[in-house]
């Protein structure tokens, strides 16, 4: 029966399931009164979220935050904005321009010039160049704001859905409190901590917000077909979601399924009635395809990776989905990172596989018998499918952030199911309507508030481990000692604290757990290099590069180790490999440009290539004397003596000026002081038209970052 049938009637047939655009009539209330109640409940949802995440603002930068935020050159500027939107390949925000732009805004607002690190007190920060630091607090505020907006959107979406004609007979009168319960439980659930407090996972929460907004605007379109703003907003939200994360791919299908379930009599009628809307939504797939086709994270995602076959990844995902569902209903022993680990044996995934398959079959059956429940179940699996089915994601085989949006479907079904069950049980136990209503409301409030408080406490506890990297990885190791990534990262924390002897056993343990773990080999090489054993570190870096040839960090470290041993010519290909994979990675440019401009062996030198790299470096980071010395040497190698002299003089002037302004740490002062001991002799060489022929001077002249 189409939407034109019986939309003004209140007969039993309409309330029982006739699909229609409008909700069933509700008891008369003053408009301002309804608005005030809704505003108060929305404020309650926001307050619950703020209380649950009140201790998240001092969370540290961790894991993928390093390449996605701290060393991401695309985030250094907000103008032009499209530069900030396109991060280098193989970072966590590659191919996600909307996320990149929001992070760039946080970077711009989070930088502070500090002369004394003590003034920062307990605030989470990381040092930058020129005496600046990047504070983490602004990133956390933005992440929480996104989460709260998503909760409010879910509140509005559930409320309007429960008042839609197929559900209004059963849920219409209680749509507002039920939607409030769903949003409250969802906003404080501890499974969302990874999506909110782990900064890089803004991609998940931002996608979730736009997914919910797409559905909400679609519902408003169904309710008010003559108002043109809602279809436009629906398509815009979908487009922004596509630019946030690839999981958004199912959003147009979710809108169509919602239309068929709650509004139209058939898919054909839905497509015919709202042709322009669905054409617009489908067009957003073109944008997503353009983002994906360039392979923004080809190093960790795709069918071509030798580390993980499709079948092996599927074996991981059955226990993963089972874990998500178990933690959704009973969140205990929450683990930030599950590592990679061995492929599960059949005995480990057989039962989860059976349960997941039964759930999929139940959803298919529900789509025909109980369409509303089927819609929620279909959304659950559609949203999980891109990351939790057959497309291998090498670095994240199990992660709670994938449940960010599917958790909304689970929560809605549980709340509405509990309401129906409660009404049935109370109807049998209590005969008087007034007593039944009183007891029902009291029980619902008590149970909901109890669950919200319990989940909120679990969220605060889980948030607490983000106070420091050491606490974070210590917590993971305590719960999962066989986690090779936790072993390696805990060792890295010890290494950063110069506790090298304590760190190395953790790296070796990680390698014993997973011999092909490139990060552990890289970290072991770094620790060995810092102990002054550069020759011993080279084979460790070599193994890491064999396992992951395009990794920026490992190639940089190999170059540093070879330079330490004076093997400058051997370092060149590793720095070139860095720039080949990330052309704007300025940290590799000074070393490479200097070696190519000054190496005594003419077979190694290349003045033209040195000039190209040094010029690009100084354009990217102007007015830095450490980089100008490489440019001056490149000018000299190409025979442009006047430019070499001018650049050398400018480097000396800037170096002295920077020394007169104390930096945040002493490392930069040592670099500048070392440079000042050799720059005058360089200038005299250029004035005498003599090029520099000493590659060893690269180390005191450039930063070792």
| Stretch(es) of the chain classified as CATH 1.25.40 | 585-705
Looking up tokens 């179940």 gives: 377
- pLDDT on residue 114: 58
The per-residue pLDDT for range 645-675, each reduced to its tens digit, is 998 898 888 888 877 776 555 666 777 777 7
Asked if residues 318 and 349 have their Cβ atoms less than 8 Å apart, the reply is: yes
H-only helix segments in 370-432: 371-384, 406-429
3-state SS class at 629: helix
The alpha-carbon radius of gyration of the chain (Å, integer) is 29
Regions of the chain short of the pLDDT cut 70: 1-33, 113-125, 127-131, 305, 662-668, 695-705
- Residue 276: the pLDDT is 94
DSSP string, 353-377: HHHHHHHHHHHHHHHHHSHHHHHHH
Question: Residue 90 and residue 581: Cα distance in Å, rounded?
Answer: 9
What pLDDT is attached to residue 124? Answer: 65
How far, in Å, CA of 38 to CA of 447, rounded? 21
Residue spans of alpha helices (H) in 163-302: 165-171, 175-188, 193-197, 202-223, 229-242, 251-262, 267-273, 275-293
Tell me which CATH code domain 585-705 carries. Answer: 1.25.40
**Rounded to an integer, what distance in angstroms lies between the CA atom of residue 615 and that of residue 618?**
5
- HSE-CB at 360 with a 13 A cutoff on CA atoms is 14
d(CA 556, CA 564): 12
Residue 641 CA to residue 315 CA, distance in Å, equals 64
Q: Please calculate the CA angle 106-401-351 and round it to the nearest 5 degrees.
A: 170
Chain mean pLDDT for the chain: 86
Q: Which helix (H) or strand (E) holds 457?
A: helix 433-464
User: Can you spell out the DSSP letters for 121-139?
Assistant: TT--EEE-STTEEEESHHH
Maximum C-alpha span of the chain: 106
pLDDT value of position 246: 93
- The string of pLDDT tens digits covering residues 495-546 is 999 999 999 999 999 999 999 899 999 999 999 999 999 899 999 999 999 9
Q: Supply the pLDDT for residue 130.
A: 57
Structure token digits, residue 414: 């549980």
Q: What is the pLDDT of residue 699?
A: 46
Cα-Cα-Cα-Cα dihedral of 365, 368, 373, 377, to 10°? 50
**Measured between alpha carbons, how far is residue 435 from residues 29, 177, 514 in Å?**
24, 19, 62
Determine the pLDDT at residue 147.
97
**Cβ proximity of 654 and 605 under 8 Å:** no
**Residue 455: CA count within 13 A, CB half-sphere:** 26
> What ranges in 224-250 are assigned the alpha helix state H?
229-242
């Amino acid at each position: 029966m189409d939407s034109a049938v019986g939309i003004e009637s209140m007969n039993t047939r309409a309330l029982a399931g006739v699909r229609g655009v409008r909700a069933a009539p509700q008891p008369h209330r003053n408009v301002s009164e309804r608005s005030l109640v809704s505003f108060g409940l929305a404020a309650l949802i926001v307050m619950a979220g703020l209380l649950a995440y009140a201790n998240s603002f001092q969370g540290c930068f961790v894991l993928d935050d390093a390449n996605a935020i701290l060393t991401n050159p695309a985030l250094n500027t907000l103008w032009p904005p499209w530069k900030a939107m396109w991060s280098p390949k193989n970072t966590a925000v590659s191919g996600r321009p909307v996320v990149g732009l929001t992070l760039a805004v946080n970077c711009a607002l989070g930088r502070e010039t500090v002369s004394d690190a003590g003034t920062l007190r307990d605030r989470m920060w990381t040092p930058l160049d020129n005496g600046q630091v990047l504070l983490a607090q602004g990133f956390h505020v933005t992440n929480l704001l996104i989460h709260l907006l998503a909760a409010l959107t879910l509140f509005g979406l559930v409320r309007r859905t429960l008042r839609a004609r197929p559900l209004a007979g059963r849920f219409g009168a209680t749509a507002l409190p039920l939607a409030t319960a769903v949003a409250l439980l969802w906003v404080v659930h501890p499974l969302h901590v990874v999506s909110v407090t782990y900064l890089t996972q803004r991609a998940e929460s931002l996608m979730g917000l736009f997914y919910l907004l797409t559905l909400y605007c679609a519902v408003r379109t169904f309710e008010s077909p003559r108002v043109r703003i809602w279809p436009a907003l629906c398509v815009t939200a979908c487009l922004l979601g596509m630019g946030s994360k690839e999981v958004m791919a199912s959003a147009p299908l979710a809108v169509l399924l919602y239309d068929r379930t709650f509004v139209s009599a058939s898919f054909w009628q839905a497509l015919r009635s709202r042709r322009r809307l669905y054409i617009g939504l489908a067009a957003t797939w073109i944008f997503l395809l353009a983002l994906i086709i360039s392979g923004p994270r080809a190093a960790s995602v795709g069918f071509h990776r030798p580390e993980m076959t499709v079948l092996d990844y599927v074996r991981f995902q059955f226990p993963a989905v089972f874990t998500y569902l178990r933690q959704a209903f009973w969140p205990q022993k929450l683990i930030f990172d599950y590592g990679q680990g061995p492929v599960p044996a059949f005995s480990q995934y057989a039962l989860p596989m059976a349960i997941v398959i039964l759930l999929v079959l139940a959803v298919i059956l529900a789509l025909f018998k109980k369409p509303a429940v089927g819609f929620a179940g279909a959304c659950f699996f559609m949203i999980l499918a891109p990351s939790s089915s057959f497309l291998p994601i090498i670095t994240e085989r199990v992660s709670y952030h994938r449940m960010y949006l599917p958790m909304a479907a689970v929560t809605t079904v549980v709340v509405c199911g509990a309401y129906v069950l409660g009404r049935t049980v109370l109807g049998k136990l209590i005969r008087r309507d007034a007593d039944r209503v009183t007891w029902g409301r009291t029980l619902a409030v008590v149970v909901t508030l109890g669950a919200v408080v319990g989940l909120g406490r679990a969220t605060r506890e889980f948030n607490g481990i983000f106070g420091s990297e050491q606490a974070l990885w210590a917590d993971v190791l305590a719960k999962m000692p066989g986690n090779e990534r936790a072993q390696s990262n805990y060792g890295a924390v010890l290494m950063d604290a110069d506790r090298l002897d304590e760190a190395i056993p953790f790296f070796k343990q990680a390698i014993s757990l997973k011999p092909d773990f490139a990060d552990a080999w890289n970290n072991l090489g770094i620790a060995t290099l810092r102990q002054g054993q550069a020759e011993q570190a080279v084979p460790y870096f070599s193994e890491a590069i064999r396992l992951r040839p395009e990794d920026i960090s490992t190639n940089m470290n190999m170059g540093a180790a070879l330079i330490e041993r004076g093997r400058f010519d051997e370092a060149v290909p590793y720095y070139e490999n860095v720039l080949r994979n990330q052309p704007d990675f300025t940290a590799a440019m000074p070393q490479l440009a200097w070696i190519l401009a000054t190496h005594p062996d003419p077979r190694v030198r290349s003045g033209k290539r040195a000039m190209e790299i040094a010029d690009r470096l100084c354009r990217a980071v102007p007015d830095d004397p450490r980089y100008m010395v490489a440019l001056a040497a490149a000018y000299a190698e190409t025979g442009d003596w006047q430019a070499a002299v001018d650049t050398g003089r400018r480097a000396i002037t800037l170096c002295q000026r920077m020394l007169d302004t104390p930096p945040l740490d002493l490392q930069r002062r040592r670099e500048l002081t070392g440079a000042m001991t050799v720059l005058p002799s360089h200038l005299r060489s250029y004035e005498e038209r003599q090029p520099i022929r000493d590659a060893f001077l690269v180390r005191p002249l450039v930063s070792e970052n």
